[in-house]
Structure 1
Amino acid sequence: MNTQWMQFVEQVKQLYGKEFIPLHEPTFNDKEIEYVTNCVKTGWVSSVGAYVTKFEEELAKFIGVKRAVAVVNGTAALHIALKLAGVEADDEVLMPSLTFIATANAVSYCRAIPHFIDVHEETLGVDPFKLENYLQQVAELRNGELFNKQTNRRIRALVPMHTFGHAAHIDELVDLAEKYHLVLVEDAAESLGTYYKGKHTGSFGKINAMSFNGNKIITTGGGGAILTDDETLADYAKHLTTTAKVPHQWEYAHDEVGYNYRMPNINAALGCAQLEKLEQFLVQKEALANKYEELVTNIDGVTLFTQPTNSDSNYWLQTLKLEDSFNRDEVLSFLNEQGVMSRPIWQPMHELELYKHCPTMDLAVTNDLKKRIVNIASTPINVK
């Protein structure tokens, strides 16, 4: 690699003040220790407890939804969200091919079929304009439901994902879902702290999902949440995620197949402490993005992906876009060898052996972006 890249590496190391920089690591201090210790002392460490309730309430308040149901991870949250959206066996679910595998797996848990759609270069999220043109060709409404004319299967839901914390064209997707009688389920796993036209992501769909994995902007260790304004759906989500146990003073009665998905209290304790610092993390993330944008101007053919129009992004993962003159893997090898942990965007779902059989639209933008995206060190810090 040339001297421009060497200079970039040195500047990033100076920024973080160390020789090895992880892609994204959690930031803890005494508050997390205090809350987790208190949780341990009470003995309430499993799926019920004061911290679970507090975390759900504070999260719902921050996002601007009526209810949040805390679960063990984002995949579990999306699984239950899809189930409550009415996704059934052999249904098709429209979702981006350019996403983490959890999105497709959650569809598979419902015994449904992912239907892969393209993304927009401005947002890295679902392209509603291209999607509508596609649906006009391959789908039709029958008795108020959308069907794929080629497979004769029902298309039940649309799952946009807010990639790296940048909001998709969500207003247009809401309109599209309404027009074609689709249930909108947001995969907001990466977008806590991201707003579209002043409204928080994860609050546009009927029922939505979020993640708090160890590498997210805040973490509960492992964790996720189901988000909705529908009180009935929220109650049902809580019921399903606690093994569908019917409340009783002592009896173990279960009224349907449920899931052991509830977030433990000890994880929620960690999350409560993290939520208190979220605003600080968002400020640090934006400052880091501004600094990276400045640094990459010195590298010919490289730009930093910045927040799209109408999006106030959380900048979860800082993202470089390479021109075609670069070999992405050579850039990744160099940065990682130099101690600046970097990763490519996910391998598109339609390329994975287990999902190659799924219906797919033209994915020209997806196929192009996979060759040009590199994520770099993104842990929030105080930028000098």
Structure 2
Amino acid sequence: MTRAYDVLKIVRDVYGSHGPLPLHAPVFAGNEMAYVQSTIESTFVSSVGAYVDRFEQMLAELTGAAYVIATTNGTTALHMALLLADVAPGELVVTQSLSFVATANAVVHAGALPAFVDVETTTLGMSPDALSEFLQQHCERTDGGVRHRESGRRVAACLPMHSFGLPCRIDEIADVCARWGLALVEDAAEALGSRRDTRHCGTTGKLGTLSFNGNKLCTTGGGGAIMTNDPVIARRAKHLTTTAKVPHRWRFEHDAIGYNFRLPNLNAALGCAQLEQIDAFLTFKRALAERYRQAFEIADIPFVAEPPHTHANYWLCAILLGSEAERDLCLEVTNDAGVMTRPIWDPMHTLPMFAQNPRGPLPVTERMAARLVNIPSGVRIEEPA
């Protein structure tokens, strides 16, 4: 009971607030109203408009990706990225069980089957060691590519996720993928502004994706993006996400099965205004995380801090409690007091639709799922106390 009230007191002290505290609410303190109004006045509110191009260019400059293609949300971005990585129906995509359900859902949307490996305590992202062990123990190289022995399915790709904006060990994961000939697609939905060394999350693999949902660091209301350094993939991504329509002044000619995945100009206008403020958002969140870290260290409650050689956006700050019972008590005490806290997602392998999927040992996943609590992490206009 004491530690639950310790958590409540620390969060309130750090924020300097005794009112309700959301987990992560958007902040609109810049040009959002003006830009959205300009799209309305122009009548270009759908997927054709200047703000879409501007949003993509701003993201390219921020992330260092050569090409960025804006989409309707993070799930559609991930779905399309997997298709562009040549993931075919019936194949396997190795991902982590500890992730938001959209990661695994996108694999299924692409017609494939997710296989689950463990995460690391330090990053909460995919363990390159667990990935390597799964491939060695359960897969084999054949003339037709890497095959999962038990099912005979081809293993097409690897899909790690940068959990809560903490960069995973993506270079080591990329090395494993290169040795086994797997396409690497990064789910960087939560990692806008996060870097390992100097490389932005989502730009190491063949493709990477971002999300701009209402609870993300920068939001477009609902939106996503595909990142790649490959010009051929980029052209294909823009074509397929725009219903595969062949450009023409008036004809409706389509040369492939396309997808209506392009971000509307109205949403992109909001995103441009948000990206103009990203430096201030990141500065606030990193300062907030450091104050949390210091306070929880005094209380002897582990705070999930960025790993060495990384620069995290601290999208959602997290602490680790001693047991599942202690976690549940903390969630009850804080939420009853108007401080929104949440457990981490139910691991994918525990959900009924994925319970029979291939997987390796998942001890860290299960341990983290039982102990982790996310605490209020949103940007606030006033400085935290």
> Would you say same fold, with TM above 0.5?
yes
Deviations 1:85-105 (A, max 9, x none): 000011000000000010111
Q: 1:295 offset after TM fit, Å?
A: 2.0
2:44 corresponds to 1:44:
yes
The answer to whether the Cα contact below 8 Å between 1:75 and 1:106 also exists between their aligned partners in 2 is yes
Q: Which AA in structure 2 matches 1:383?
A: P
Equivalent residues of 2:130, 2:360 under 8 A apart:
no
The CA distance in 2 between the partners of 1:8 and 1:332, in whole Å, is: 10
* Paired residue type of 2:99: T
Please report how far the alpha carbon of residue 8 of structure 1 lies from its aligned counterpart in structure 2 after TM superposition: 4.2
Structure 2 partner of 1:107: 107
- Structure 1 residue 30: deviation in Å? 4.3
Residue-pair matches, total: 382
Residue identity in the other structure for 1:6? Y
* SS in structure 2 of the partner of residue 116 of structure 1: strand
Matched letter for residue 313 of structure 2: N
Aligned match of 1:236:
236
Evaluate the alpha carbon distance shift between residue 95 and residue 325 of structure 1 in structure 2; reply closer, same or farther with a 3 A threshold.
Answer: closer
Contact 1:187 1:210 in 2 (8 A): yes
Q: Which residue of 2 aligns with 1:338?
A: 337
CA distance in 2, matches of 1:248, 1:115: 42
Partner of 1:137: 137
Shift of 1:9: 2.4
Contact 2:177 2:183 in 1 (8 A): yes
SS across alignment from 1:370: helix
1:10 is displaced (CA, Å) by: 3.8
Q: After the TM superposition, which residues 68-147 of structure 1 pair with which residues of structure 2 at under 5 Å, given as runs?
A: 68-143=68-143, 145-147=145-147
Partner of 1:13: 12
Show CA shifts across 1:305-356 (max 9, x none).
0001221100000001112385221111111111110111000000100111
Secondary structure, aligned partner of 2:267? helix
Offset, 1:238: 0.8
Q: Quick one: which amino acid aligns to residue 232 of structure 1? A: V
The residue number in structure 2 matching 1:383 is 384
Residues 211 and 225, structure 2, Cα contact 8 Å, conserved in 1: yes
Post-superposition shift, 1:39? Answer: 1.3
Contact 2:10 2:292 in 1 (8 A): no
The answer to whether the Cα contact below 8 Å between 1:5 and 1:299 also exists between their aligned partners in 2 is: no
Kept after mapping to 2: 8 A contact 1:210/1:225: yes
- For residue 365 of structure 1, what is the aligned residue in structure 2? 364
Shift of 1:48: 1.0
Letter in 2 for 1:195: R
Asked whether the 8 Å contact 2:5–2:330 carries over to 1, the reply is no
Q: Per-residue deviation at 1:261?
A: 0.7
Mapped to 1, the partners of 2:367 and 2:9 lie a distance apart of 29
Structure 1 partner of 2:206:
206
Q: Is the 8 A contact 1:318 1:376 kept in 2?
A: yes
* Alignment partners' CA distance in 2, 1:212 and 1:311: 22
Instruction: Return 5+ residue gaps in structure 2 as ranges.
Output: none
Distance 1:121 1:13 in 2: 27
What percentage of aligned pairs have identical amino acids? 45
Question: 2: CA distance between counterparts of 1:8 and 1:111?
Answer: 43
Q: Aligned letter for 1:40?
A: I
Once the 2 structures are TM-superposed, how far is the Cα of residue 16 of structure 1 from its aligned partner?
4.6
Structure 1: which amino acid aligns with 2:379?
Answer: P
> For residue 255 of structure 1, what is the amino acid of its counterpart?
D
Q: CA deviation at 1:135?
A: 1.3
Q: Which residue of the partner structure matches residue 220 of structure 2?
A: 220
* C-alpha deviation, 1:252, in angstroms: 1.0
- Distance, in Å, in 2 between the alignment partners of 1:131 and 1:344 is 25
Deviation at 1:59, TM superposition (A): 0.3
Quote the Cα distance in structure 1 between the aligned partners of 2:199 and 2:321: 31
The residue aligned with 1:53 is: 53
1:242: Cα distance to partner? 0.9
Once residues 350 and 30 of structure 1 are traced to their aligned partners in structure 2, the CA distance between those partners, rounded to angstroms, is 42
Query: What letter corresponds to residue 309 of structure 1 in structure 2?
Result: P
Mean alpha-carbon deviation: is it higher for 46-55 or for 131-140?
Answer: 131-140
State the distance in 2 between where 1:7 and 1:149 align: 49
Task: Tell whether the 8 Å contact from 1:187 to 1:202 is kept in structure 2 after alignment.
Answer: yes
Contact 2:7 2:330 in 1 (8 A): no
Q: Distance in 1 between matches of 2:6 and 2:199?
A: 39
**Hey, what's the Cα distance between the residues in 2 that align with 1:152 and 1:258?**
30
